[in-house]
Amino acid sequence: MPVMQKVLGSKRLRPNRLFSNFKGLDVLAKVPKEIGADEYNVIMGLGRVAGIAAGAAQNFTQNAPRDLIVRRMTFSEDLLVAPGMSDFSITAITIEGNATLLSASAPASAFHPNSVYPPCFDLPVAGGTPITVTVVNNNPGARNAEISFNID
């Protein structure tokens, strides 16, 4: 089953005039005519944790509220900390039970909102499936952090 059909179900799509002029493209439609609550949901937050101790690991977990496509992950922390002046590591990203991080860790700065080349997952996820991100605070003191995903 194509991803768009899996996510949008039986909703009718409007033809996109620009894309329909290009042959061989899979993306040929705009937002459904009948826009429902699912189309307004574009961000899925995994939560905010205050006071992650120095050297401590913290799991952020959220079940997908519906069928969706996970796009870009955003990691943010205390607003008073200048970008690049903090040291968090992402040690695990698990989507539908599959590890999407193939190393021991990645710098959280790669997922910062101002990152020049942010990683993008573009993975379909079934509703009710857990998404988990594990971070480690490598700073000398406790810090707050939060994680969210752009979704379709």
For residue 16, the SS3 value is coil
CB 41 within 8 A of CB 26: no
CB 135 within 8 A of CB 91: yes
Mean pLDDT of the chain: 79
pLDDT of residue 1: 46
CB 73 within 8 A of CB 93: yes
| pTM for the full predicted model | 0.72
pLDDT of 140 over the 60 cut? yes
- The model's pLDDT over 42-80, given as tens digits with 9 standing for 90+, comes to 889 999 999 999 999 999 999 999 888 899 999 988 755
Domains (range + CATH), the chain: 1-40 (no CATH), 42-151 (2.60.120)
CB 69 within 8 A of CB 120: no
d(CA 111, CA 39): 24
> Nearest CA to 136 among 110, 112, 114, 105?
105
- The model's pLDDT over 91-105, given as tens digits with 9 standing for 90+, comes to 999 998 889 988 889
75-113 in b/e form (b: 16+ CB < 10 A) is bbbeeeeeeeebebbbbbbbbeeeebeeeeebebbebbe
Q: Which two tokens stand for residue 16?
A: 């996109």
